[in-house]
Amino acid sequence: MSDKIHLIGLNKDELAKFVLKIGEPKYRASQIFKGLHERRLRQIEEITDLPKSFREKLNETSTTSTLEVESRYVSEDGTRRFLMKTHDGYPVETVFIPTEKRDTICFSSQSGCPLKCDFCLTAKLGLLRNLTVGEIIEQIVIVLNDVYGEANETPHGTNLVAMGAGEPFLNFENLIKAIEIMSEEDGLFIVPNRITVSTAGIVPKIYEFAKLEKRPHLAISLSAPNDELRDKLMPINKKWDIEELLQAAKEFQNSLRKGERFTFEYVLLGGINDSVEHALDLAKLLKKYNLTRVKINLIPHNSAEPLEYKPTSWDQVEKFKKTLEENGVSAYVRTPRGRDIFAACGQLAAKSEPNLVQIAN
Ligand code: SF4
């Protein structure tokens, strides 16, 4: 695969240039695009509206599918975790989370992650490498095909969250290009409004993101109301502290569309950052920066060895939430999903355990 062109990662202009370069008419580009994105076909041979000779020619210079599903785990709550491998052997994890109203796919932007959030298992992998545009899109296609069957249903109702392995803003260009391609009407047609990107606080990219014309929603992982604690929990704070982060958040707030809000994520760690005082400090902090169009997503920590954190009791989660609400801050608790198959937040560490229920492809 290494020097073959990964067709699914090309936007329409690039695809048109590519077919012209190999001596084919431009409309072939549109056939390829629809085949790979709208119909979610995984192999060039399957795009049968292309002449056989052209398909053979394509196969010589390009490829459509590079990710391989190594294992697939299904939780008792219906969540599915896909452990995939890149052509050069790096792990990629993607999670499908069904709910009554709408399904969500949580995808990865990097293999592993260079940030060292203390409560996250992915951090233990370190950064293996950035994912390409094609690898980001392929994750979605693979999951949609698994859930809905190949192109049997359109996924318009599906939400995407860039909250799997990796820090999306450290792979900014590939992420944004993948999102642009996925939003094409004659493709996957998952518009930015259905996509949320979560950052641990890469401040310069928050400013850049705010300026994008068609941008997805933003979530910022905060998880502590003061620098001392955040330095320990999320060492990226030593590079861009809370002051710098919340100034960027304020600027981002100015870019919000009518009725739009953005999110702060707060991972609750038992006895560490989950007291009523922490909640009060958090509310004060938001007030100080005049951050009014925000909601807080409270994420009870998903304990997993070798992490030593304990979960917050439900009683304490409720107290934390209530304190925020009493101080004028909207707060929601994210119900943990897929804990039994290591699919929940902070648990993605390419775990392939023999005792998990594995459904082979
Ligand atoms: S929480 Fe996100 S940014 Fe932090 S180490 Fe884990 S994957 Fe990376």
Centroid of ligand 1 to alpha carbon of 153 (angstroms): 33
| Nearest in space to 201 (alpha carbons), one of 233, 178, 176, 179 | 233
pLDDT of residue 34: 96
Domain membership flag for residue 217:
yes
**Looking at ligand 1, which atom is closest to the CA of residue 123?**
5
Domain membership flag for residue 37:
yes
Mutate to test the pocket of ligand 1, among 122, 127, 175, 197 (most ligand atoms within 8 A of CB): 122
Residues 59 and 195 in one domain: no
Residues 134 and 26 in one domain: no
* C-beta separation of 195 from 173 below 8 A: no
**Looking at ligand 1, which atom is closest to the CA of residue 198?**
2
Domain membership flag for residue 136:
yes
pLDDT of residue 349: 66
* C-beta separation of 223 from 273 below 8 A: yes
Residue nearest to atom 6 of ligand 1 (CA): 120
Residues 265 and 147 in one domain: yes
Pick the last residue of a domain from 24, 47, 63.
Answer: 63
The model carries a pTM of: 0.93
The Cα–Cα gap between 300 and 340 comes to 15
- Residues in contact with ligand 1 by the CB-under-6-Å rule are 113, 115, 117, 120, 122-123, 165-167, 200, 346
Domain membership flag for residue 333:
yes
pLDDT of residue 153: 59
Domain membership flag for residue 348:
no
Residues 6+ apart with CB under 8 A from 89: none
Residues 45 and 160 in one domain: no
pLDDT of residue 188: 94
Structure tokens at 197: 């990107």
Centroid of ligand 1 to alpha carbon of 286 (angstroms): 23
Half-sphere exposure (Cβ direction) of 297: Cα atoms closer than 13 Å: 17
pLDDT tens readout for residues 37-74: 999 999 999 999 999 999 999 999 899 999 999 999 99
Classify residue 132 by its DSSP letter. Answer: P
* C-beta separation of 87 from 104 below 8 A: no
Residues 37 and 129 in one domain: no
Pick the last residue of a domain from 43, 63, 83.
Answer: 63
Q: 184-221: b or e for each residue (b if 16 or more CB lie within 10 Å)?
A: beebbbbebebbbbbbbbbbebbeebbeeeebbbbbbb
pLDDT of residue 58: 93
Residues 227 and 85 in one domain: yes
Structure tokens at 37: 């994105």
Residues 37 and 112 in one domain: no
Domain residues for 12?
5-63
Domain membership flag for residue 356:
no
pLDDT of residue 102: 84
Residues 207 and 120 in one domain: yes
**Looking at ligand 1, which atom is closest to the CA of residue 121?**
6
Structure tokens at 61: 């210079």
**Looking at ligand 1, which atom is closest to the CA of residue 114?**
8
* C-beta separation of 67 from 9 below 8 A: no
pLDDT of residue 202: 98
Q: Give the total number of structural domains in the chain.
A: 2
Classify residue 37 by its DSSP letter. Answer: I
Mutate to test the pocket of ligand 1, among 95, 107, 120, 170 (most ligand atoms within 8 A of CB): 120
CATH label of the domain that carries residue 107: 3.20.20.70
Structure tokens at 296: 């807080």
pLDDT of residue 151: 57
Residues 6+ apart with CB under 8 A from 72: 80, 81, 82, 83, 146, 358, 359, 360, 361
Mutate to test the pocket of ligand 1, among 115, 197, 231 (most ligand atoms within 8 A of CB): 115
Centroid of ligand 1 to alpha carbon of 40 (angstroms): 30
Residues 244 and 101 in one domain: yes
The Cα–Cα gap between 271 and 303 comes to 13
Averaged confidence pLDDT in the chain: 91
Centroid of ligand 1 to alpha carbon of 169 (angstroms): 11
pLDDT of residue 179: 97
Centroid of ligand 1 to alpha carbon of 27 (angstroms): 42
Centroid of ligand 1 to alpha carbon of 139 (angstroms): 19
Domain membership flag for residue 361:
no
pLDDT tens readout for residues 234-275: 999 999 999 999 999 999 999 999 999 999 999 999 999 999
Classify residue 11 as exposed, middle or buried by CB count within 10 Å of its CB (0-12, 13-18, 19+).
Answer: middle
Residues 9 and 150 in one domain: no
Residues 96 and 154 in one domain: yes
**Looking at ligand 1, which atom is closest to the CA of residue 165?**
7
Instruction: Show which residues are catalytic.
Output: 93, 345
How far, CA to CA in Å, does 301 sit from each of 53, 70, 270, 311, 337? Answer: 54, 27, 8, 5, 11
Pick the last residue of a domain from 63, 89, 110.
Answer: 63
Structure tokens at 91: 């792990």
Domain membership flag for residue 357:
no
CATH label of the domain that carries residue 21: 1.10.150.530
Residues 200 and 284 in one domain: yes
- Which residues in the chain come in under a pLDDT of 70? 1-2, 150-156, 304-305, 339-361
Q: Phi and psi of 159, rounded to 5°?
A: -95, 150
